A and B are shown apart, each in its own frame.
Chain A
Amino acid sequence: MSASASSLIPSFARTPSRVAIRRAASYQADLSALLFETMREFDLPVRGKTVLLKPNFVGLDPRGVMNTHPAVVGAARESFLRLGARSVIVADGPALERDTEAIVESMRLRDYIGSLPPTFIDLNVDDVHRVPLRTRASALKELYLPEAVLEADFVVSMPKLKTHHWAGVTLSLKNMFGIVPGSCYGWPKNILHWAGIPQALLDLNSTVRPDFAIVDGIVGMEGNGPIQGTPKSCGLLVVGDDPVAVDSTCARIMDLLPERIDYLARAAFLLGHLKEERIHQLGESIASVRTPFEILDSFRRLRSGGNGR
């Protein structure tokens, strides 16, 4: 399993994290070269390993703004193979649509990763194993999780840069909800909402913490995300080996205060760095790429000057 005992480390005992912000004008850009060069800087331990890319494939996406773009997924796959990974699989368990084949075919994923089975795995219907959760923020205690995730050596969360009408934002930590299998918990995976989204996110990510994150911020989504929002062009990829630091950086790019995002604030205790001074920024600076995202009124508190706690 990817999550190692060392993943639960109090923030004060963690070394500073690194997050890279790269400009990518469009999905037609040479994303493979960009990602490969960026990932090389992180010296990732993937040689000879099985890498699992976990994009955010929510559902059918005729506007092309809801799901992680397949060009980014294909570029990441190619980059990990060039870095020496033994195999790179793409896997997700969409939360809102059972016909996963229809989702990946409608986005033409095969054009970017080749033939779908066996490279793509539907996590909603994989074999599962009972996994005790390593924290007790929610009342869940355990989850049945897919074998493909538990057997992967290196898990990469690949969300899209989006607002979220229940959680504020959905980034690399929230994206991990997609590993929870629908065949056990339904469509949507309501047990996670019922347990409390921030609490369930902490418990899940403490148990299967992504080893790396690549955020598709070339075109994101603002407003009433993660499905019904408005496309937002940012022309960015944000990557790093600390999912909390990556998500915090993304929040700052969206002009939101990460410490006011409930699940990020919780995750910062054990899973990574939230504070800007503990994140070493590579590539572009946050200030140079900041793009304020529209948010729902119920999340005004996430803005600087909003009604924060």
Chain B
Amino acid sequence: MISGPQVATAHSESSCRTPFLQEVCLPFLLEAQNADGGLGHRAGLRSSVEPTCWALLALASLSNSGELSKSARSAGSWLLQVQLQDGSWPSSQGQQEGSWVTALACLALHTNGVGPQAVARGVAWLCHAWPGEGGLWWRFRHWFLRKSVAVTQNYSFRGWSWTPGTCSWVEPTSYALILLRNLPGELHPRRATLRQRLGEAMLYDRMCPTGGWNCGNPLVYGVAGEPQVGPTVWALLALQDYRDRLANQKSLEWLEQAYEGLQGPGSVTLAHLCLETYGRPTPPLEPALQRFYAANQFFHSVPVMAWAVAALSPTRQWLRPARQGAAE
């Protein structure tokens, strides 16, 4: 079916793996890993934090042994090596400024039980990294120009930005919230509770009127934007402690309706992960992935392949269901 290294595993371990996972996804990830331990966005590209994190989270979804375990260890080591002095991680090698991938790096390391001190420093950085719209000057300017602004949203709800000092957006906020809900309370820095509360409020404030989220603004000049799969999935996963809320249910319904028409493996895999986490029925994933893979080999994308591994795996510790008693 495919070329590439075969993944050697004990029989009991591999028996719960689907053929696509065992014969395509895992060999792909192992082959894509660079000599330094990291992975690039595509096989053959230089190591980068985001794809390495997704690969590490994917491997954490499996019962690791042998080759996979070795691969996870070296990916974890690479992540520790590229952490910046201030505790953050850069989105690409060479950058000297932390970014949105810091939440993913902390999540991947914590899930794999690697580098607790590095994780603590990363979480501290995240909880101190306020988005640009939090500044006094920005708020004054926004208040002053309030009659001419095209976008109406509550800027007191601050989440996380893609790059330092810019606005809060749905995806980076969701990643940070997923991290915080995975960390035990004793690992939360002082501001974590406040940041969580503001971030969750920001997500609900940015929801599209039809349910779901997009990566921009829900309303521009009064016109409703269309939701998108990626932001909707990450926001729902970040807000799964409130799964019974009308907003969550409405967004899940949008995602279910969109599912049939999805045209990329990344979208299908993420939607599947989310719906399954919420206990919603989904069509079998593997036939769809096989179709997409036959068409374009997922564009050789490491993140998409890693999401596929997570979606096809029986356990996903980092997407654990709602905390007892947390739902409203």
Say if the beta carbon of A116 comes within 8 Å of chain B: yes
Verify B163–A102 contact, CB threshold 8 A. Answer: no
* B169 pairs with A186, CB closer than 8 A: yes
**Residues 178-235 (chain B) with a chain A CB within 8 angstroms:** 214-216, 220-221, 223, 225-226, 228-230
Residue of B nearest to A228 (CB): B223
Residues in A222-241 with C-beta less than 8 Å from chain B: 224, 227-228
- Residues of A contacting B295 with CB < 8 Å? 105
Query: Are B266 and A99 within 8 A (Cβ)?
Result: yes
Identify which of B13-21, B45-53, B108-116, B236-244 touches chain A. Answer: B45-53
Binary per-residue interface labels of chain A (232-266) against chain B in the complex, 1 for a CB within 8 Å, 0 otherwise: 00000000000000000000000000000000000
- B296: nearest residue on chain A (CB-CB)? A116
The verdict on B8 contacting chain A, using a C-beta distance below 8 Å, is no
CB distance from B105 to the nearest CB of A (A): 14
Chain A residues contacting B77 (CB-CB under 8 Å) are none
Chain B residues within 8 Å of A101, by CB = 263-266, 292, 296, 298-299, 301, 304
Interface residues on A, range: 35 or more
Known A-B contacts A105-B295, A228-B223; A99 and B230 likewise in contact (beta carbons under 8 Å): yes
Against B, the Cβ 8 Å flags (1 = close, 0 = not) of A138-156 are 0000001000000000000
Cβ of A96 and Cβ of B297 under 8 Å apart?
no
Q: How far is the CA of A122 from the CA of B215 in the complex (A)?
A: 18
B263 A102 Cβ-Cβ under 8 A: yes
B223: chain A residues within 8 A (beta carbon): 224, 228
Which partner residue on chain A sits nearest B91 by CB separation? A184
Cβ-closest chain B residue relative to A182:
B162
Asked whether A298 is an interface residue with its Cβ less than 8 Å from the other chain, the reply is: yes
Contacts of A103 in B (CB 8 A): 264
Contact of B166 among A98, A102, A191, A224 (CB under 8 A): A191
Q: Counting CB contacts under 8 A, is B122 at the interface?
A: no
Interface contact A130-B94, CB-CB below 8 Å: yes
Tell me if A284 is interfacial: C-beta within 8 Å of chain B.
no
Establish whether residues B150 and A185, one from each chain, have CB atoms under 8 Å apart when the complex forms.
no
Q: How far is the CB of A186 from chain B (nearest CB, A)?
A: 3
**CB–CB A100/B172 < 8 A:** no
Task: Determine if B316 is an interface residue (Cβ-Cβ < 8 Å).
Answer: no
Question: Which residues of the partner chain A approach B225 to less than 8 Å between Cβ atoms?
Answer: 227-228
Closest to B217 in A: A188
Which 6 interchain pairs have the tightest Cβ spacing?
A186-B162, A102-B264, A125-B41, A99-B264, A101-B264, A102-B263
19 further A-B contacts with Cβ under 8 Å, apart from A101-B264, A127-B45, are A96-B215, A99-B267, A100-B299, A101-B263, A101-B292, A101-B296, A102-B262, A102-B266, A105-B295, A117-B297, A125-B41, A144-B95, A165-B150, A165-B220, A186-B172, A187-B215, A188-B169, A191-B166, A227-B225
Q: List 8 A-B contacts (CB under 8 A).
A: A96-B215, A102-B263, A105-B295, A186-B162, A187-B169, A190-B162, A191-B166, A228-B225
